[in-house]
Every structure is written in structure tokens, then in C-alpha cells.
Amino acid sequence: MWRRGWMLVVAVVVAALLAPAVAVARPLHHPRLAQVRPRAFASCADLVGYAGRHFAVTHGIPARGVATLVQPTPMPFPAEGAPQGSAPAAPVAAEPTAGTTFSTTNNQEEGVDEPDIVKTDGTTIFAVAQGKLFAVDAGGPEPRLVGSLDLGPTGWGAQLLLRGSRLIVISGGGPVPVAIGAPTGPGPQPAAAAAIAPYPIAAKTVVTEVDVHDPAAMKVARTMTIDGTYVDARQNGSTARVVISSTPRAVGEAATRGEPKGWVPARRFRSSITGRHYVRAVAACRTVRRPVHFSGLGMLTILTIDLDRGLWAADSDALMADAQVVYGSPAGLYVATQKWIDPATPADQVPSEPSTVIHRFDVSDPDRTTFASSGEVRGYLLNQFSLSEYRGHLRVATTSRPAWWPGAEPEPGESLVTVLDERGPLLVPVGQVAGLGKGQQIYSVRFLGDTGYVVTFRRIDPLYTIDLSTPTAPRVAGQLELEGYSAYLHPAGPGLLLGIGRNVSANEPSGVQVELFDVSDASAPKLLQRATLGAGSSSEVDYDHHAFLFWPRTRLAVLPVQVYDRDQPFAGAIGYRVDRSGIAEAGRLAHDAVDGYLQPIRRSIVIGDRLFTVSDAGAMASDLTTLARQAYVAFPRAG
């Protein structure tokens, strides 16, 4: 991802255009909004006819009439309730010690939980490691391993959501499908190739409901397997929403036989409580929506789970589109994907730059998820932090790069922030600031209130501040010259911003660096202090924000770090005290080595007056003030 000669630019989005800033307000780019409003299929025949026609065109297969929709036949399956099994109808939350405060792992939005490898209720820590689910009692004087559950092949890479005595384990079945040739790093990319609809190998998503009422005897209650690749999930209160991207099960077969069929993915449900099971389509044909503009043959499914009742009460909503980036706010769920380009599009009609289609789903009903609106913006997203809903508006940070073809002189790209307003079924652009990081691409984004922070990187290194307080007129305010770049940005108190990323030495990224910025004055952002770890160091925070912890009560920041050094290697975590006076290292934490190998720390959480760190090898309790080690519990290793 790094190339020689790149330098940093950070765009922090806050107040009035200063100095000779490159970013400027421009006339809004309005994609063909009417063409992104999805419509429901009238029938199964309508769905299959639509899919069959487009499949034949995109794969060069002669049309052979309307294909038959093959849907799994449902088996009789009564609604489950407490009388049919041993699981409680409504989970009873574990009772933490009176007055105990605890943290979650790091989430983007307050009140919206995200799936992760570690969850806690303030008394028990649940962690996925080595393909197993471990339960650690964190309420006593010393942590104690009280239970484990083998999750089988689906346990590797699994993520967790917790509600009372129900734990949801989500396992993906392969990489998230992304557009072939989509920009993955700096450098010109062909816009046409960047959005050709992909058809990856079929995958499965497994959602397992685990009864953790007694952590010492955890047991699988129900399992649901859905055709498709797990993209991401969000939890609002008692409701979890799992986003799955499916491709037609019959793509490979249809390509050889010229007979497309089986377009609706299936979900398979099995209850360990009643012994019953069923197989059925994820959604009825008439509930599946499609954009008027063909967006590929993939299907985006949102599985809505009432965690107070369990998997048997799951609902689903489907849209014929791909899914790449998921963002959840307290009021909505957003799913974005780079716009698909039909391979048959004449060269002179291919868009001059990539664009991203965003779909918003209403989450106000805890029992279901319904389509609300769609919109389109220039450029492509970095990740979920590229999206932010605030006071009824959606802010979107993208990088746009003009089309490039072999032999042509590449045109420099730019980054921009677009503000969208929901108007009926459309997300309409109402404000935009463009020209950020000319010739560069976004490396990190954070929106906080009416301010946004955007880091771009290549050869120049200003930190831009842009005011978003007026959605229709975002403006650049100030800039700061920097070295290196931030891969993750986190608020560290009023007027303070932490940046976790990489230092730059001789124009090349080097080791981990932690930077503290004073952004209280948008017109004059300042670097208060920089802490560097030297060449050979790396941190999981670079690519997974869940690995970072900031505990405001004690001003403690914790990040996992690995240092590849022949003489003094290190794998663990470093704690920093952060305030307006600067950054001070508070201590280093390390887990016991296994067979001579250092064990990287994956997550950090706070429970009461202790800091708990979790690795694949075990969990450790440390004093929250001194970071002194108190106790360590090892996870049994297979074999």
C-alpha cells in the first residue's frame, strides 16, 4: 500500500477557506438520481426474467426464454417459544458488581454496537480465539477461565454480538466481493474496469445463537446458514442487523448450460432446542427490490434479529445490488458499493470517474429493516468512517480519480466531502467541498459533530480543517504541515484529536507513530506531540479500529504493537496518558509466550478498576492506573 515518495495530507473538515488552500466549493455533482431508486419485483417471474435477461447479456449467452425460479421448499416449522425448549424467552442480563463500569471494544458511533472478537457484560469476558469461544470470569479477585465452546470450522474469524444471555456468533465464508480492479492503493486505475460486476465463488454466512446464561456451560441454541458472503453487522439496542452479499447460486452452472436459475439465495435454520429445521428463500420475490439502473446480479440481504427472542424470529430484507461498506447510526443503516458498469457499455459512454451508490435502511422498527432511500456520490469510499449521519444529513468522504487507459497521461485525482439530505426515496447532494489532497487518496476519515477529519497521503502533507456546520456550504478553514500519516483518528477530549499511523523516513513509511493534535481552533490546528516507535513496528489499529482503546476517565489510550527487532522484539500493547500537555507512555503490557513465540495482544477493555487485555493465547488483568500485571489466564491450546 505504500510507495516511495508519498507524504501525508490530512484534511480536517471545520470553518472558512484559508490561505491558498486547494480545496474549494464547486457546483454539486448530481448523478442520475432517478435511476438509483429501487423498485420491488411484481412476482417471481418478474425477478427471474430480469435476472435471466441480464445474465444472458453480460455472459454472452443466448436467451432461452424465462428461466424457472428454484426456491427451497419450506418444511413445517412452528414458532419457537419458551415451552418448546430450555432457553429463556427473554435473556436475563448478567449482573456486574454493583457500581462497576466497563467499556466495550472500540465502536464508531455511540449507541451502535459492532461485531468483534471480544464482548463483555461487565462480569464475563467472551472471546473468540483459536476457533473457540472462551468465557472468562472477570468479576472476582483474579480472572478465571470458566468455560469454552468449540465453534468448529466457522469459529476461525468469527465475530460476536451480545445481548443479555444470548451471544450471536457470525462467521463469514470468504472475502467481501469488491469490484474487479477497484482502486486499492495510490496510482491511476481504469475507471471502467474498476466497477465491472464480480461473481466470486459462492460462500456461506453462518449465524449461531449461543446460550451463555451459564458461562460454564455455554451451548448452541440455534443456527442459521445463509447463501452469501458476510459483509458486516450492527446492533441497535435489542436488534442486530447482519448484512450479507449473495451471488446467484447457479452462476457457474448457468454459464455453461445457458439456463440461469436459482437467483434467490437460501437460508437454512436449525434449532438445537426443538430439533426442527427448515430451508427457504431469504426473501419473498415481491419483497426483493432492484435499482432501475442495472447494478449487477448480486443480492444484498439484511437479516434482522430480535436478540430478546433469538434467531427463530429473524426477518430479512433484500435488494438486488452488491454490498461493500456498511455504516450504522442510531437512526439508519447504510450500505454502499461502487457503482457497477455494464461491460457492454460503449467506450464513449463509460463514466469519466468512479461513483458510489449508497442505500439507506430505516431501523426504527426493532422487528424489521426497510429500504428508505438511495443516492450516489462521486468517487469511492475508504471504509465505514467515510460515512457519518448527523442531524438528518449524511456526510460522505470519497476519493475520485479520472478514468485512465494504457498509453494515456493519468490525470490527478482529488478527495471530497459531500453532504446528502434524504428527500423521499432519494439521498440528494446539498453541499460539497472538493479539491482535497490533489493527486492523493484518503487514508483515514473521522466525522465528529459538525467537524470532519480526512487524511490523504502521497507527496505533500497539510492538515486541512473544514467546517460542516452549514450542510449546504462546507468550507476549508486551516492547515498544518505534517510528516507521516494517520491511519486511524480518535477524539481524545474537547479540542483534542489522536492520530494513529506511520512515521515517514526518507520519503518512505517507517514505524508506528501516535500524534496528538489541538483542533480547538479550526483555523489553526496544532501538533502538540508525536510519539514514535521506530522502524519495524506495526499495530493492528492500522486496519482495525476495534483494536484501539481510549478510556476518558483516566485519559488512557491503549494500542496493540508488534516490534520486529532482532535484539529487542516486542509483542503486546502500550498504554499512553493523553491530555493537553501531551502524550506520556504509561506502561507496556505483554502476555506469556507460547512455545517461545510472543503473543500479540488483540483487544483491550476496562472493567472496574482493571484493564483487561486479550490475545489468542489468553487474557490478562492489569491495574488501570499503573498498568502493573495482576493475573493472567491461559486459553487451552488444541493438540
* DSSP letters spanning 90-157: SPPPP-PPTT--B--S--SSTT-B--BSEEE-SSEEEEEETTEEEEEE-SSSS-EEEEEEE-GGGGTT
The end-to-end CA distance of the chain, in Å, is 37
Look at 161 and 23; give whichever has higher pLDDT.
Answer: 161
Please determine, for residue 538, whether its predicted confidence score (pLDDT) is greater than 70.
yes
Taking 50 as the threshold, does the pLDDT of residue 257 lie above it? no
The residue among 428, 399, 429 whose CA lies nearest residue 415 is: 399
Residue 273: the pLDDT is: 82
pLDDT over 90 at 577, yes or no: yes
Of the ranges 31-45, 193-207, 397-411, the best mean pLDDT one: 397-411
Neighbours of 340 (CB within 10 A): 22
Of 330, 362, 391, the residue that ends a domain is 330
Asked if residue 156 belongs to a domain, the reply is: yes
- Write down the pLDDT at residue 519: 95
- 108: phi then psi, degrees, rounded to nearest 5: -75, -45
pLDDT (mean) for 98-106:
85
Tell me the percentage of the chain whose pLDDT exceeds 70: 75
Of 413, 410, 401, the closest CA to residue 353 belongs to 401
So what's the pLDDT on residue 199? 41
Predicted local distance difference test score (pLDDT) of residue 153: 87
- Measured between alpha carbons, how far is 436 from 470 in angstroms, rounded to an integer? 18
- The grid cell for 179 is 469490484
The answer as to whether 48 is a domain residue is yes
Question: Which pLDDT does position 322 carry in this prediction?
Answer: 87
How many structural domains comprise the chain?
2
Give mean pLDDT, residues 18-31.
51
Three-state SS sequence of 402-417 = CCCCCCCCCCCCEEEE
The pLDDT of residue 11 is above 50: no
The residue with greater pLDDT, 454 or 251, is: 454
30 confidence band (pLDDT: 50, 70, 90): low
Phi-psi group of 347: left, alpha or beta (phi > 0 → left; psi -120 to 50 → alpha; rest → beta): alpha
> 3-state DSSP call for residue 51?
helix
The mean of the pLDDT values for the chain is 81
**Which of these three, 285, 312, 330, is where a domain ends?**
330
Single-letter code of the amino acid located at 537? S
Establish if 489 belongs to a structural domain: no
Final residue of a structural domain among 295, 330, 365: 330
Contact 602, 585 (CB under 8 A): no
List the single range of 245-249, 453-457, 523-527, 540-544 with lowest mean pLDDT.
Answer: 245-249
Per-residue pLDDT reduced to its tens digit, 46-83: 887 787 777 666 655 554 433 333 333 333 333 444 33
Per-residue pLDDT tens over the stretch 328-376:
999 999 999 988 666 566 666 677 788 999 999 999 999 999 999 999 9
- Give yes or no for a contact between 254 and 55, defined as CB atoms under 8 angstroms apart: yes
Domain that holds residue 123: 25-57+109-178+200-330
Q: Determine the number of helices (DSSP H) and then strands (DSSP E) in the chain.
A: 2, 43
Tell whether 87 is covered by a domain: no
How far from chain centre, in Å, is Cα 542?
A: 14
Q: How confident is residue 407, by pLDDT bands cut at 50, 70 and 90?
A: low
**Which of 122-136, 242-256, 398-412, 454-468 tops mean pLDDT?**
122-136
How far apart CA 545 and CA 548 sit, in angstroms, is 6
% of the chain beyond a pLDDT of 90? 54
- The predicted structure's pLDDT at residue 196: 33
Please name the residues in contact with 289: beta carbons below 8 A apart, sequence gap of 6 or more.
38, 39, 40, 41, 318, 319, 320, 371
Per-residue pLDDT for 629 more than 70?
A: yes
Residue 338 sits at the vertex; the CA angle it makes with 337 and 339, to the nearest 5 degrees, is: 110
Residue 297 has pLDDT above 60, yes or no: yes
pLDDT exceeds 50 at position 20: no
Read off the pLDDT of residues 190-227 as tens digits, 9 standing for 90 and up.
Answer: 333 333 333 444 589 999 999 999 999 999 999 999 98
Written as one letter, the residue type at 439 is G
Q: 3-class DSSP state for residue 59? A: helix
632 part of a folded domain: yes
For the segment 76-102, the average pLDDT, to the nearest whole number, is 45
The band of 280, judged by pLDDT with boundaries at 50, 70 and 90, is confident
172-191 pLDDT tens trace = 854 333 332 333 333 333 33
Position 454 in a domain: no
Tell me the Cα Rg of the chain: 25
Q: Which amino acid type is present at position 17?
A: L
List b or e across 25-39, with b for residues whose CB sees 16 or more CB atoms inside 10 angstroms.
Answer: beeebebebeebbbe
- Predicted local distance difference test score (pLDDT) of residue 38: 76
Q: Is 565 a member of any domain?
A: yes
Q: What is the pLDDT of residue 605?
A: 99
Per-residue pLDDT, 84: 35
pLDDT at residue 46, rounded to an integer:
84
Whether the Cβ atoms of residue 233 and residue 241 lie closer than 8 Å to each other: yes
pLDDT of residue 24: 58
Local structure of residue 597 (DSSP, 8 states) = B
pTM of the predicted model as reported, rounded to 2 decimal places: 0.86
Flag whether 571 is in a domain. yes
State residue 173's pLDDT score.
Answer: 54
